[in-house]
Structure 1
Amino acid sequence: MEQAIAEQIDGRVLDPLVECISEGARRYGLPFARDLLAQLPRNADGFLPYHQAPAALDLAGLNYDVVERSRLPAGSTMLPAIIALGESGYVLLLEAQDDEVLVWRPDTGGEVWEKRSEFTENYTGRLIQIHGDPDRMRADEAPWHAKARTHWFWGELRRERKAFMPVLLASLLINLLAVALPIFTMNVYDRVIPNQAQETLWVLGTGVLLAFVLEFALRRARTSIVDEIAQRLDLKLSQKIFSRLLAVPLAERKGHTGSLAARVAEYATVRDFFASTSVVLVVDVLFLIVFVAVIAIIAGWLALVPLTIIALMAIAGFVLQKKVVEASQDAQADYGLQQTLLVESLTGAETLKAMGGEGGMLSRWHRLAEIGGHSQLRLRNINSVAVSLAQVFQQISTVSLIIGGYYLFAAGEITMGAIIAIVMLASRSLAPAGQIAFLLTRGRQAKETLASIERMFEGGDERKLGASVAPGSITRPRIEFKDAEFRYSEESPTALSGLNLTIEPGERIAIVGRVASGKSTFGRLLCGLYAPTEGAMTVNGIDSRQYRPQQLRSALGFVGQDAALFSGSVRENLTLGRMGISEEELVNAMRATGADSYLSRDAGGFDRAVGEDGRQLSGGQRSFLSLARAMVEPRELLFLDEPTGAMDSETEKLFVERLSKAMQPEQTLVISTHRPALFAICNRLIVLDKGRIAADGPVAEVLAKAGAARGEAS
């Protein structure tokens, strides 16, 4: 069913699920662009699968509820809704009557009334109710409402609230069944043994055994449900966190890579606390009242003993959790530093070996491990104190109940069996109560981790940048810089300043300059990886910040001199997960840059593994592959940063010839280079010096002026 039926509209392959989401956004007046969903995973056929619909609806700004029901909704209370059909893909259900339904079909792009009986034949029971964002209207009076609904974590947890109902029911039954053993013991001691009632003994024994079996089954069912919820949340939350990391603007990216990776890994602490074993513990703690109530029924005021012990455990938990939080924060910071050093050392292993720097790195690791060990030891000591206190409190409870029980027994108010029963009940009630300190500690750790991850969500989000007034695609871009300046951070010096130039469609431009003159930075600015900090850059007369970053980058391609390769095959590095790219397109891209010259000699072909960061390839091969990757999908403008820096003269000559033939007349080419051989395919030369334009004009004219200036200087 998840394989959508592709249609062709104006030469564009149509994904029914994406079109339904687009139509739903249009009906609620929300700006939507299909390229927003380009980052989401696709199935083998290149279409958005059903389980990715919630992520797509989040990006579209729509609220939704995923529903499974055997019958179509009646009336319009749950509509509109995206309906998953059999081989027909997806439609948008707008209205449902007794005999007819009104649907919007993506293949026709229009509404149509259909017979309900025929429509329900393909209905799969899965639908997604979509609705606008009422929180926008509530934002002024109740801003927390919108935050709770759209929060990356609480919003997903809220959608699973119905799934927790069986967990609560199972916990109630488990705790009620746990009373069976103490009651059985009390009756055996008080009635069966004194009367030697064997038949009663076997009846009671059979009943309690059945209770044990049922309790076991309920525990297994509860664990399975909780695990399923945790798995669903894990898939959704991990994707949200990872996609959010990828959506952070480069200008706002802060922190070490290892620390960021450690922070992301620790989100499991949050997930486990709210959707795993901690939930079961919290529920068990809530049901302590059941055991205390039974103790009160059997032994009256002796119920105050477990209540007092529970209160003391809670107080100890509050005291200890503050100490645990301090220790865990130190441990978290130390772990992040260790991860940063580990990532840097593994990435730069070749440099360390070449320069004999292993000893220095090992010394740094030893110091960090020593510091981290102290914080971990402190954390373990506090946890050990919490466990020991729980054991001591439980022992005090047992002794207190036996002493109190003696006086009640002497007064004839309770029996010997009742004393044994209340001791067993108290032990059962204090078992989850002994976890109060653990729960408070885990809860505080989860809160701190959640706050740490929250900081990743507070910055800019490229998926939300850009205005809806910009056209959907960029063709024949005319780019103009107006008094543009740029610096990477407030503390860093100005990288580019006073930029005033225009790049016309189809131009061939070479940019030269000394090291650190701003050539690479200019390319990053030109292709939308960064935005000017002062002044403006316009594309076809529109400020570049009005375009979505995805729009700019799909039209303006950037190939850096240190472009990254990823573990996988040559094919995977060329496509980077983009679907629908044919073998012929890959071959043409390789030929356009001359990369086919080395690939044709390799038995693996496109399936050849490149290794981590492309380490199984030579420097020239990595450069070729990065250049070919930019040619897989045609760009309106292409910026190449030192493309032939790792090539010999013969290879460079081949590359220039192939690139000249591959570039279409309307395509713009900008090359940053120190190699004069590339001037042959350029008609304009820009010289940068200290972040400013020192010269700009036809290649021959600029070179002549530079030669004359050198002659005068000599």
Structure 2
Amino acid sequence: GAITALAFDYILRVVRANMLEREAIEIDTEVSEFFFSRSSDVRLDARPAGIGTMAAQLRGLEQVRQMLSSSMIFAMADLPFALLFIFVIAQLGGPLAFILLIAFPLAVGLALLLAHLIRRDTERAQISGNRKNGLLVESLDAAETIKANRGQWYLLSRWNTLLDEVHDAELPVRKLQAQASSIFSTLQQIAYISMIAWGAVRIYDQQMSMGALIACSILAGRVNGPLISQLPGLLVQWSYSRSSLKLLDGILALPPDRPVGMDQLRPNRLEPQITVKDLKFAYQGGRAGIVVPTLDIAAGERVGIIGGVGSGKSTLLKVLSGLYAPAEGQVLMNKLDMSQIADDVLREHIGYLPQDYRLVNGTLRENLLLGLPDPGDDRIMEVAQQTGLEKLITSNERGLDLFINEGGRGLSGGQRVLTGLTRLLLARPKLLLLDEPTANLDVETEALVLRAIVEQLDPETTLILVTHKLQLTNLTNRLMIVANGQIAVDGPTAEVLKQLTAPAQQPAEAAAAAQPPKTGITTTIGARTQ
């Protein structure tokens, strides 16, 4: 009989563990997929300034997962059994069940008090820990800049400061947890001793048998062990998970690219025609953005955008691409508001090449075909030959399977740009938005790229090009000058360039006219010979 009971208990434990682990995996898969998708959908202009800190906040999901997938689920699974065991103890030992009915609520009350006392410190520790992890990500990402400028000591000082903040916040939590563990252990011992003592009295009075007392003590251990003894650690873990949930709620509160639940438009075709109405955009923190009362770009137009550093050229391009959402006004494509068009449809028709094109971890082929159907190696090599990326492919033994490190490390800035441009030409979008496409290229490669862009352009393709190089304006028939976040000049390329060069020519002509006529030859020491 005892062997049968032990075997049955073992089978129940194994079945319970397997069921809970299977449920935990399903919860983890669903929740992780949701948060990854949701964090990827956050609008670029609404993302926190510290990406490392945001990544650390997402790591808080691991704490929540551990909480829900292990301790919490086991405790919830044990609670009905604990109530059942107390009922059985009441049947076997009568009033002995009151000991557990007093000890268990008392333990829960002490646990809630502990949770209240450590809540503030766990939140402080969580925030400081996220900032510390964010600093680690930032320092690893910017290692080249930090080493070149002897910034290690500065970052080490910041790291130690954040580490002290974490320790200062965690120390009270650990002290309270240790004290609570001692209190709960004492409470368990008191409950056990009380049950044995009261049971002995009842046995002496012949109100219960020795076997019943042994059974009650075993069942009491099944109540005290899984629940009361785990409460301190469980409550501390829950407090950290609660702080993580608050930070995760902050990420969920960030605006997505498209409102959740909105029926998005999915037109079969979008003409590359852009209309801007009463556009206002500003960065978080009040940093200046752009203001465009009205702008119309017809399908097939070739538009260049020039301006000083920080004038708003790249910001305007991001807004026109739909990656940044205007605070006020509308950006229309083919008379449809971009915010209402499904993102996959919009990206199919818009090709955007940023200044700093970053690659993802994987092979060169995977980066070239990111989000695209495979057109075949012949087509890939054809476009790579046009852009000049063929040199990178043929110069290594792995070819298109060349492994790319995170961010494209190991490749030059020009090679990263060529990879992005090649992918863009493979996609063949009808609206090309290029931000300084030849800034990192040599003269020969720049000529190849310009020729490839010209070959891509057909009467139905619209080009919007941001550049500091006047020679690239040869690709355009319309030129804008952006200054202080506004379009200061907008007109045909030839006329705008003429306006730019006219102020420089007029002083030169006036200075030449003011010079007296030369009647002799001036020597290198300023003497004049007749």
Query: Could you tell me the TM-score, scaled by structure 1's length?
Result: 0.67
CA–CA distance in 2 between the matches of 1:234 and 1:590?
42
Among 630, 640, 643, the residue aligned to 2:424: 630
The answer to whether structure 1 residue 412 and structure 2 residue 174 are counterparts is no
CA–CA distance in 2 between the matches of 1:657 and 1:347?
35
CA–CA distance in 2 between the matches of 1:419 and 1:545?
71
Secondary structure (helix, strand or coil) at the match of 1:266 reads helix
Contact 2:71 2:234 in 1 (8 A): no
What is the match of residue 208 of structure 1?
2
The answer to whether structure 1 residue 488 and structure 2 residue 264 are counterparts is no
CA–CA distance in 1 between the matches of 2:276 and 2:199?
88
Secondary structure (helix, strand or coil) at the match of 2:286 reads coil
Pairing of 1:274-313 with structure 2 (within 5 A): 274-313=68-107
Distance 1:303 1:366, change over 3 A: same
What is the match of residue 408 of structure 2?
614
Distance 1:465 1:635, change over 3 A: farther
The answer to whether structure 1 residue 472 and structure 2 residue 267 are counterparts is yes
Among 365, 371, 382, the residue aligned to 2:176: 382
Among 317, 321, 324, the residue aligned to 1:523: 317
Distance 1:467 1:282, change over 3 A: closer
The answer to whether structure 1 residue 456 and structure 2 residue 247 are counterparts is no
Among 324, 348, 360, the residue aligned to 2:142: 348
Pairing of 1:290-439 with structure 2 (within 5 A): 290-434=84-228, 435-439=230-234
What is the match of residue 706 of structure 1?
500
Distance 1:713 1:617, change over 3 A: same
Per-residue CA distance 1:81-100 (angstroms, 9 max, x = gap): xxxxxxxxxxxxxxxxxxxx
CA–CA distance in 2 between the matches of 1:466 and 1:294?
51
CA–CA distance in 1 between the matches of 2:66 and 2:418?
45
Per-residue CA distance 1:184-222 (angstroms, 9 max, x = gap): xxxxxxxxxxxxxxxxxxxxxxx1112112211221121
CA–CA distance in 2 between the matches of 1:540 and 1:527?
13
Contact 2:306 2:466 in 1 (8 A): yes
What is the match of residue 526 of structure 2?
none
Shift of 1:579: 4.0
Shift of 1:620: 1.2
Distance 1:391 1:465, change over 3 A: closer
Question: Which one-letter code corresponds to 2:30 in the other structure?
Answer: K
Contact 2:196 2:213 in 1 (8 A): yes
Distance 1:598 1:443, change over 3 A: closer
Pairing of 1:543-582 with structure 2 (within 5 A): 543-582=337-376
Structure 1 window deviating more from structure 2 (572-581 vs 616-625): it is: 572-581
Per-residue CA distance 1:489-534 (angstroms, 9 max, x = gap): 36222x2224433212222222111111111111111111123333
Return the structure number with greater helix share.
2
CA–CA distance in 1 between the matches of 2:371 and 2:335?
33
Contact 2:53 2:135 in 1 (8 A): no
Question: Which one-letter code corresponds to 2:478 in the other structure?
Answer: R
Contact 2:350 2:432 in 1 (8 A): yes
Secondary structure (helix, strand or coil) at the match of 2:404 reads coil
Contact 1:292 1:303 in 2 (8 A): yes
Q: How many residues align?
A: 507
Distance 1:508 1:400, change over 3 A: same
Shift of 1:385: 2.2
Secondary structure (helix, strand or coil) at the match of 2:277 reads strand
CA–CA distance in 2 between the matches of 1:406 and 1:698?
103
Secondary structure (helix, strand or coil) at the match of 1:669 reads strand
Question: Which one-letter code corresponds to 2:449 in the other structure?
Answer: F
Shift of 1:320: 0.8
What is the match of residue 65 of structure 1?
none
What is the match of residue 667 of structure 1?
461
Shift of 1:470: 4.8
Question: Which one-letter code corresponds to 1:621 in the other structure?
Answer: Q
Contact 1:499 1:692 in 2 (8 A): no
Question: Which one-letter code corresponds to 2:26 in the other structure?
Answer: R
Per-residue CA distance 1:158-194 (angstroms, 9 max, x = gap): xxxxxxxxxxxxxxxxxxxxxxxxxxxxxxxxxxxxx
Shift of 1:471: 5.6
CA–CA distance in 2 between the matches of 1:412 and 1:541?
92
Per-residue CA distance 1:220-264 (angstroms, 9 max, x = gap): 121111111111222221111111111112232235222222222
Distance 1:652 1:324, change over 3 A: same
Contact 1:592 1:659 in 2 (8 A): no
Per-residue CA distance 1:603-644 (angstroms, 9 max, x = gap): 221111221211110121111112112222111111111111
Contact 2:56 2:130 in 1 (8 A): yes
Distance 1:652 1:273, change over 3 A: same
Secondary structure (helix, strand or coil) at the match of 1:638 reads strand
Structure 1 window deviating more from structure 2 (248-257 vs 562-571): it is: 248-257
Structure 1 window deviating more from structure 2 (528-537 vs 442-451): it is: 442-451
Distance 1:291 1:236, change over 3 A: closer
Shift of 1:660: 1.4
Distance 1:212 1:696, change over 3 A: same
Distance 1:289 1:511, change over 3 A: closer
Structure 1 window deviating more from structure 2 (270-279 vs 362-371): it is: 270-279
Question: Which one-letter code corresponds to 2:147 in the other structure?
Answer: K
The answer to whether structure 1 residue 262 and structure 2 residue 56 are counterparts is yes
Contact 2:354 2:434 in 1 (8 A): yes
What is the match of residue 520 of structure 2?
none
Question: Which one-letter code corresponds to 1:312 in the other structure?
Answer: L
Query: Could you tell me the TM-score, scaled by structure 2's length?
Result: 0.89
Contact 1:591 1:658 in 2 (8 A): no
Pairing of 1:89-238 with structure 2 (within 5 A): 207-238=1-32
Pairing of 1:535-546 with structure 2 (within 5 A): 535-546=329-340
Structure 1 window deviating more from structure 2 (676-685 vs 638-647): it is: 676-685
Shift of 1:469: 8.3
Contact 1:592 1:662 in 2 (8 A): no
Shift of 1:319: 0.9
Unaligned runs of 5+ in 1: 1-206
Distance 1:466 1:478, change over 3 A: farther
Question: Which one-letter code corresponds to 2:221 in the other structure?
Answer: S
Per-residue CA distance 1:291-328 (angstroms, 9 max, x = gap): 22333333322222222222221121111111232232
Distance 1:466 1:289, change over 3 A: closer
Per-residue CA distance 1:680-704 (angstroms, 9 max, x = gap): 3222222212222232223222212
Question: Which one-letter code corresponds to 2:274 in the other structure?
Answer: I
Q: Identity over the aligned pairs, expressed in percent?
A: 33
Question: Which one-letter code corresponds to 1:486 in the other structure?
Answer: F
Contact 1:484 1:537 in 2 (8 A): yes
Contact 2:314 2:435 in 1 (8 A): yes
CA–CA distance in 2 between the matches of 1:467 and 1:413?
70
What is the match of residue 594 of structure 1?
388
CA–CA distance in 2 between the matches of 1:466 and 1:397?
54
Secondary structure (helix, strand or coil) at the match of 1:563 reads coil
Distance 1:394 1:501, change over 3 A: closer
Shift of 1:347: 0.3
Question: Which one-letter code corresponds to 1:698 in the other structure?
Answer: P
CA–CA distance in 1 between the matches of 2:45 and 2:261?
16
Per-residue CA distance 1:427-466 (angstroms, 9 max, x = gap): 2221123134444444454444334323333343324479
CA–CA distance in 2 between the matches of 1:578 and 1:654?
23
Distance 1:441 1:255, change over 3 A: farther
Shift of 1:598: 3.0
The answer to whether structure 1 residue 497 and structure 2 residue 296 are counterparts is no
Question: Which one-letter code corresponds to 1:457 in the other structure?
Answer: L
